[in-house]
Structure 1
């Protein structure tokens, strides 16, 4: 989905400042999920309260949400499109049975060695590289709704939630211009973030 890839490129660009100091290898944490070996959050980003083992999403990126959970976001579930080898990390695109088409994309940002979790977006804010910056929390995990552009399409919302201090999960919600039958694209994204965190808190079950 073009809008998801554009959002992910924005996150990658936001993290350029981190590339020289990140120790993230691009691999998921071991199953025991020990504390991150990175230097922690930067640029004023809040810390992740308890690092999550994200390896279940590497193996099956679409397992983060069940069809019933997708339908609970506001419209019937149509299908999903798993991309475990996507260029920025394992991803899934969940499509709704709506016309015009609406969808939600989620990516575990493991393949950008400088992504630095949500710190990349905080660094982008400091440099004036975002036109929208709205911190939020879901299940006590920090996230940020952000937009690097000033003319994004109606119904588009992009956010990142921290799974570890050095690892983020990027969510891109693309609804039709009228957002029917949804209430708000960013609220949909927050619900997705909650499902992802819950899934990993349960050990990928």
Structure 2
């Protein structure tokens, strides 16, 4: 599963968790924290590296213990089809992980609860933004800041990451089936499922 994470989804765990302080690449705009973000920096050093502050966080308790319960069975079927496989859990360096991979079509869904770094989106802004080939600061998802990236320009998936608080985030990547791989916007595809995940978590929180 760790090989799949790096090779297919492209979330390079060594880079994310190493805590390196590489400077942002030229042409990538950094963000100035809001007043609430500045207060957060003074309190616990978060957010940093240009990551936006999360003004109305969700409690981490909304995350299901099993990341394979991030979606309902019906939501997985709608995304992958009636023969969609069951999710397979793993615990990786960044936090709990689940994958649904259809070996017949080549399609897959990958979810990671980024809970281990304790820096939320700040980890990605510091360690991933300088090295990935595609980096998009996208519109908020469910009212939460979000960013999408691809490690390489021809990667088969786009990782959409949503900061649900300053200390944790969730990541969703969707790999389209082989028949659709050249006909869809990969980041838009992952973003739609990330919206579904956030909606599920907000429902668990009673919002």
TM over 0.5: yes
Q: Which of the two has greater helix per residue?
A: 2
Where does structure 1 lack aligned partners over 5 or more consecutive residues?
Answer: 19-34
Cα distance in structure 1, aligned partners of 2:64 and 2:20: 26
Residue 4 (structure 1) aligns with = 5
Q: Secondary structure at the match of 1:186?
A: helix
Show CA shifts across 1:85-139 (max 9, x none). Answer: 344311211245x7332110101122345xx21122222466x312110112211
Aligned-pair distance for 1:176? 3.4
TM-score (norm 2): 0.72
Equivalent positions of 1:174-185 (< 5 A) are 174-179=175-180, 183-185=184-186
Contact preservation (8 Å) 1:4, 1:172: no
Aligned-pair distance for 1:184? 3.4
Equivalent positions of 1:144-163 (< 5 A) are 144-152=147-155, 155-163=156-164
Equivalent positions of 1:37-186 (< 5 A) are 38-73=44-79, 75-76=81-82, 78-83=84-89, 85-96=91-102, 99-112=104-117, 116-124=119-127, 128-136=130-138, 137-152=140-155, 155-179=156-180, 183-186=184-187
Cα distance in structure 1, aligned partners of 2:182 and 2:60: 31
Aligned-pair distance for 1:80? 2.4
Cα distance in structure 1, aligned partners of 2:114 and 2:144: 16
Contact preservation (8 Å) 2:161, 2:170: yes
Cα distance in structure 2, aligned partners of 1:135 and 1:77: 34
RMSD, matched Cα: 3.2
Where does structure 2 lack aligned partners over 5 or more consecutive residues?
Answer: 22-39
Show CA shifts across 1:50-91 (max 9, x none). Answer: 211233435121221112222333633512224263443112
